[in-house]
Amino acid sequence: SVEVLQQLTGFDDLTIPQQLNLANIVTSQTPIDHLGELLPNLLKLRLVQSTVPTFRDMGTRLKKLQVLWMSRCGVEDLSGVFGLPNLEELYLSFNNIEYLDDLAMHENLQVLDLEANKVSEYDQLEHLGSCSKLNTLTLSGCPIVSGREAEYRRKVVKIVPTLEFLDDDEVRDDEGGDNDNDDNEGRMNLGSNNNSGDDFRRGDDMFFGGFDSGVGGISTQISWDDRAGGESKLV
């Protein structure tokens, strides 16, 4: 409710918060599909040590959300991700994701972290090839990476030609060729400044390790960083 979020964030005006951290959320017990309605200007959302099996649990009103961290949240189903039309960075490491068709044509997506998921088929990457701005992709720890690394990288870069970084390594010119007939066709390396989320991804466990508060019997933690005023509130 409005009153609960006001109490947890410390702000009466819920149009102010742009960043929200949640820990120990189980969406079947603590629904979060109302967040976009109550926090209409939310740009960054982080969920850790939580259980969010499907993106449908996120609701359809997080229209302005740009960055989402959901590492180790038991995500299995990406259906509903199109309810986040402005999403630019999506960090989903250590989940159970196998199918990527719901990400097709996600025109604003630039960074996608799928480390240690269940992606095993190159056909699934075809859906990412339709994401015209996708420049950074992480698949390390997925079954698809098994085999020769050079062959794997050439195949991925051919399918997703907009990539500039794959598994934290910059894509080289000679990785843009055909795997079966490597013609060494060059590709332009445009560079990237979109690795800002990497530090957050690596530090999730350390940053949230001490969260143990409870609200209404459900272990929940919300924090908000007011970047404009430099004031932080942690409830």
DSSP 54: B
Beta-carbon contacts of 113 under 8 Å, excluding residues fewer than 6 positions away, are: 90, 91, 92, 93, 138, 197, 201
- Give the span between the Cα atoms of 210 and 155, in whole angstroms: 41
* pTM, two decimal places: 0.77
- Give the span between the Cα atoms of 189 and 160, in whole angstroms: 14
Higher pLDDT: 4 or 171? It is: 171
**pLDDT for the residue numbered 230:** 33
pLDDT tens, position by position, 66-115: 999 999 999 999 999 999 999 999 999 999 999 999 999 999 999 999 99
pLDDT tens, position by position, 26-37: 999 999 999 999
In the predicted structure, residue 197 carries a pLDDT above the cut 50: no
- Give the span between the Cα atoms of 164 and 172, in whole angstroms: 8
Token reading at 20: 């929200």
pLDDT tens, position by position, 144-163: 998 788 899 999 999 999 99
**pLDDT for the residue numbered 107:** 94
**pLDDT for the residue numbered 177:** 52
